[in-house]
Amino acid sequence: MIPGSFSYHRPASVADAVKLLSDLGEEARPLAGGHSLVPMMKLRLATPAHLIDLHGIPALKGISRSGNNLVIGAMTTQHDLLASEDVAKSMPILHEAALLIADPQVRYRGTIGGNVANGDPGNDMPALMMTLGASYRLEGTGGARDVAAADFYQGAYFTALEPGEILTSVSIPVPAAGHGYAYEKLKRKVGDYATAAAAVVLTMAGGKVATCAIGLTNVHETPLLAADAAAAVIGTSLDAATLKTAAAAAAAIMAPAADARGPVEYRKHVGGIMVTRALQRAAANAK
């Protein structure tokens, strides 16, 4: 539980950080909150020769509006999200999900950028970003580009980030006023990753579902958008048969690993239940 030796860098700008990352190559890793990387280093499962600490870059922190989008700097902590009135009002599901991440100590340190960029299927924010239709700004020596969250995740810990690139901000379209939302997460205890979790954002019209997006956490090597399940509920009033169909459609794309949280069959089963419960709760709190 003791990391190997490494060099520590603390650049003051994104340009410096990107240059360091590019110059030092594969031996370098950016450091955000460190809650994934540092434990891996303590187990020597990760042995970066260089750590590029992003805490010295003020431009990476903060929450702002850009048109109808909320733009959140990568180094904004989960605690910052919870403290933001704008997030609480315009995107309450983000508030709800952030509260389900670990514990206050972790949330003071853990960042949204680290959470979404690491490609860890257990993290809560990626599925949520896909559900909300967010995009990520990636900056490298060649400039900046935007990648949709839905296109970002390629495999466990494999993402669209190219060598030398840093995820600098997340841009999230503000959902329609009166939308319904829920993030249902089954976990064994505080601090645990989800056994299965489902994010739902929907709008209702005349007692029926008008629009719906469903995201799934930790039931596959990447976060998932359950498009078929979402399509199945459009135009319905979420009757028992529809919920069953939606849960089954969601479960059909799940491929969780068996682990101490339970065997594959259980994790898929409760994944379906999380979808059902999230749909019901989202419909209930839609206006």
Partner 1 sequence: MNDMTPTREQRSAALEGMGCKRKRVEDIRFTQGKGNYVDDVKLPGMLHGDFVRSPHPHARVKRIDDSEALKVPGVLAVITAETLKTVNLAWMPTLAGDVQMVLADGKVLFQNQEVAFVVATDRYAADDGINKVIVEYEPLAPLVDPFKSMDKDAPVLREDLAGKTSGAHGPRKHHNHIFEWTVGDKELTDAAFKKAEVTIKEMISYHRTHPSPLETCQCVCSFDKIKGELTIYGTFQAPHVIRTVVSLIAKLPEQKIHVIAPDIGGGFGNKVGAYPGYICAAVASIVTGKPVKWVEDRIENLTATSFARDYHMTTEIAATKEGKVTGLRVHVLADHGAFDACADPSKWPAGFFNIVTGSYDFPTAHLAVDGVYTNKAPGGVAYRCSFRVTEAAYCIERAMDILAQKLNMDPAELRLKNFIKPEQFPYHSALGWEYDSGDYHTAMRKMMETTGYAALRKEQADKRAAFARGETREIMGLGVSFFTEIVGAGPSKNCDILGIAMFDSCEIRLHPTGAGIARMGTKSQGQGHETTWAQIIATEIGIPADNIMVEEGNTDTAPYGLGTYGSRSTPVAGAAIAMAARKIKAKAQMIAAYRLEVHEDDLEFDIDGFRVKGLPEKFMSMKDICWAAYNSVPPGMEPGLEAVSYYDPPNMTYPFGAYLCVMDIDVDTGVYNVRRFYALDDCGTRINPMIIEGQVHGGLTEAFAIAMGQEIRYDEVGNVVTGSFMDFFMPTAVETPHWETDFTVTPSPHHPIGAKGVGESPNVGGVPAFSNAVNDAFSFLGSTHIQMPHDFWRNWKAAKQLGAVA
The footprint of partner 1 (CB under 8 A) covers: 1-2, 4-5, 44, 103, 186, 188-192, 195, 259-263, 266, 269-270, 273
Residue 130: what residue type? M
CB-nearer residue toward partner 1: 123 or 195: 195
CB-nearer residue toward partner 1: 85 or 103: 103
CB-nearer residue toward partner 1: 177 or 241: 241
**What is the maximal distance between C-alpha atoms in the chain?**
62
The CB-of-260 to partner 1 minimum distance in angstroms stands at 4
CB-nearer residue toward partner 1: 73 or 272: 272
The CB-of-169 to partner 1 minimum distance in angstroms stands at 30
The CB-of-2 to partner 1 minimum distance in angstroms stands at 4
Short-list 32, 76, 41, CA closest to 166: 32
Question: Are 96 and 128 contacting, i.e. CB atoms less than 8 angstroms apart?
Answer: no
- Residue 139 CA, chain-centre distance (Å), reads 19
C-beta neighbour count of 39 within 10 angstroms: 13
The CB-of-219 to partner 1 minimum distance in angstroms stands at 14
The CB-of-67 to partner 1 minimum distance in angstroms stands at 39
Give the dihedral sign, CA 28/29/31/36.
negative
- Residue 116 CA, chain-centre distance (Å), reads 5
Short-list 254, 252, 251, 286, CA closest to 272: 251
CB-nearer residue toward partner 1: 177 or 190: 190
